Structures are given as structure tokens and as C-alpha cells.
Amino acid sequence: MLKIITKASQLRGRVSVECSDEEMKSYNHITDQLKILMRSANGVGIAAPQVGIFKRMFLFQRDNGLIQVVINPEICWLSGNTRKEYEGCLSVPFRTKRVTRDTNITVKYFNGKEFITESLRDMESRIFQHEWHHLLGILFIDIE
Ligand SMILES: [Zn+2]
């Protein structure tokens, strides 16, 4: 069973690599475990590097409650409109901090079946940016 890393020093600065075509097809065993971890910890997002898998893959909870699988994501557009709100992180227990994020973004990713492009706003946009930062080795406690 995978375990969530809660030492910032093991995540900070570690850039995740793209999932290969082969990994994109065989992602299920990882995302299933990530889903369980995220749910049991009452999180709204979790990225593969948080369990020591330094691959570009994360999950986030949509406004409708469903969990979205995101593989090899790109942020194609940021609105430039920002808002500062409190965030937390499963890898940084017991800490919250206000972080500035773009309210609207356009993203591209593989959802496990196909490549999609979509616009996200507010909470979905915030979580996506938080998880995206995990793939770059950036933690919310280190940004304004
Ligand atoms: Zn996090």
C-alpha cells in the first residue's frame, strides 16, 4: 500500500517526469490506491509524487464530487485574475496558508481514456494549480 510522504524535504524541488505511453495505459493500479488515500485523508487532491512516484499524474475532486484522473497535464492559459485563499495539503499536515492562484485556467491532460482540453474555474482551478505545483516540486507553503 502506498503511503503519503509528509516530509517537505522529500518533495521540495523534485520535478516529476512525464508518464510514458505504456504508463498511461497501466495507470489504474496507481490511481485506485491514490483515490483510497485521498478519500481516507479527506483530501480534495493528491499527486503521485506525494506517495514517492515522481510521475506527472494527479487526482482532484470536481465540483460535482467525482474524482478526476489527470495524466501528463499542461496549463495552456492562466487568466491573470487571481484570488488569495487558504489551502492545506496532505503532505503538510496541520498547516494552512493563504495562496494566490489564478481563478480561471485552461488545461490539457489525458484523463485515462482520451486527451481533453477544458477550462476550470474557482475551486477546480485552485486544486489543479496546487497539484500541478506538486509535479514541479513546489509546495504551497513556499509560495505567496
Ligand atoms: Zn498538496
Q: What is the pLDDT of residues 51-99, one digit of tens each?
A: 999 999 999 999 999 999 999 999 999 999 999 999 999 999 999 999 9
CA dihedral for 18, 22, 28, 30, sign (positive or negative): negative
Number of independent structural domains in the chain: 1
Share of the chain above pLDDT 90, in %: 91
Classify residue 26: in a domain, yes or no: yes
Ligand 1 centroid distance, CA of 108 (Å): 20
Between the CA of 139 and the centroid of ligand 1 the distance, in Å, is 7
Q: Tell me what the mean pLDDT of segment 21-43 comes to.
A: 91
Residue 93 lies in a domain: yes
DSSP label at residue 1: -
Q: Is the pLDDT of residue 141 over 90?
A: yes
The CATH number covering residue 46 comes to 3.90.45.10
pLDDT at 25: 79
Q: Is residue 1 part of a domain?
A: no
In a domain, 117, yes or no: yes
Q: Tell me the pTM.
A: 0.96
Active site residue 74: no
Cα(46) to ligand 1 centroid in Å equals: 6
141 C-alpha to ligand 1 centroid (Å): 10
2 within a domain of the structure (yes/no): no
Distance CA(113)–CA(105), nearest Å, equals 22
**Residue 29: what pLDDT?**
86
Segments in the chain forming alpha helices (H): 21-25, 28-40, 122-135
Quote the domain boundaries for residue 48. 8-142
Answer whether residue 3 is part of any domain.
no
Give the ranges where 2-138 is alpha helix by DSSP (H): 21-25, 28-40, 122-135
CB-CB contact of 17 with 30 (8 Å)? no
- Active-site entry in 23, 114, 131, 144: 131
Q: What's the pLDDT at 64?
A: 97
Q: Could you tell me if residue 138 is inside a domain?
A: yes
Q: Please, what is the average pLDDT of the chain?
A: 96
Q: Is residue 94 part of a domain?
A: yes
Q: What mean pLDDT comes out for the span 99-105?
A: 98
Residues 110-137 have pLDDT tens digits of 999 999 999 999 999 999 999 999 999 9
